[in-house]
Amino acid sequence: MIIAPSLLAADYGRLAREAKRAGASRADWLHIDIMDGHFVPNLSFGPALVRTLRPLTRMFFDVHLMCSKPEILLEPFAGAGADQINIHVELGEHVTALLWKIRALGKKVGLAINPPTSIGLVQPYLHLIDTLLVMTVNPGFGGQEFIHEMLPKIQQAAAWRRERGLSFRISVDGGINFQTAVDCARAGADVFISGTTLFGRRSLAAAVRKMRKLVQAARPGAERAG
Ligand code: DX5
Ligand code: ZN
């Protein structure tokens, strides 16, 4: 189980301190949203910020590219210190080449899917990826309401993973709070990306601990495993 605070909800006046706070919280990954003002109607961070934060923490940097032309950004983010790069399946014919390019750069490979997109679209890529990122809000902004209709998508992805003997992680992103994290864990998710709920707390460490405990107890098979 991976808990991944999302930097989008951090205090932008003190990002270095926020990155250190995330590292000290014992969260596993730092999720970093990159928005281009075209694929989504908002802007966020660039590779220079990732490069600045990289020496401040040993956390795994999970970079989420909500961008129409990720091909121009893969090398800059890889060089800046990303550990995993997620691109969107909505990019269609470019997806396979992008996934291979991320792999060739020596990074973990993530594929993201938006709420309106059918889960069937990711099926041809599942053997190529380390993480399937299921968006549980429409991307672009933090603090939105979790879309419950996404739970069957998580269940379907988990079923394919089982049936095909694959081991990609299923991450969920958007509106993840202590309750919706549990719902997603029951559906088969194993990476919980959360901005507002985690960074919004005075003690990020306590919030991370609480979310980890809840999702561990909720994950399929937890009762049997004891
Ligand atoms: C939304 C981003 C999310 C965002 C989630 O476009 O991809 O990573 O930070 O924020 P919360 O947890 O506040 O919904
Ligand atoms: Zn994200």
Residues 20 and 143: their CA atoms lie apart, in Å, by 22
d(CA 165, ligand 2 centre) in Å: 27
Q: Quick one: which ligand is closest to 84's CA?
A: 2
Q: What is the pLDDT of residue 220?
A: 78
Respond yes or no: is residue 33 known to be catalytic. Answer: yes
The list of the chain residues with pLDDT below 70 reads 223-226
**What is the three-state SS of the chain?**
CEEEEEHHHCCHHHHHHHHHHHHHCCCCEEEEEEEECCCCCCECCCHHHHHHHHHHCCCEEEEEEECCCHHHCHHHHHHHCCCEEEEEHHHHHHHHHHHHHHHHCCCEEEEEECCCCCHHHHHHHHHHCCEEEEECCCCCCCCCCCCHHHHHHHHHHHHHHHHCCCCCEEEEECCCCHHHHHHHHHHCCCEEEECHHHHCCCCHHHHHHHHHHHHHHHCCCHHHHC
Q: What is the pLDDT of residue 224?
A: 56
Cβ–ligand 1 contact at 31 (below 6 Å) = yes
What residues have their beta carbon closer than 5 A to ion ligand 2? 33, 64, 173
Query: Are the CB atoms for 117 and 138 separated by under 8 Å?
Result: no
The residue from 36, 62, 173, 183 that is catalytic is: 173
User: pTM value?
Assistant: 0.97
Q: What is the pLDDT of residue 226?
A: 45
Cβ–ligand 1 contact at 5 (below 6 Å) = no
Domains of the chain as residue ranges with CATH: 2-221 (3.20.20.70)
Respond yes or no: is residue 11 known to be catalytic. Answer: no
Cβ–ligand 1 contact at 144 (below 6 Å) = yes
Ligand 1 pocket test target in 137, 150, 198, 211 with most atoms within 8 Å of CB: 137
Name the closest-CA residue to atom 4, ligand 1.
142
Structure tokens at 222: 């937890």
pLDDT in tens, 147-192: 999 999 999 999 999 999 999 999 999 999 999 999 999 999 999 9
Q: What is the pLDDT of residue 223?
A: 62
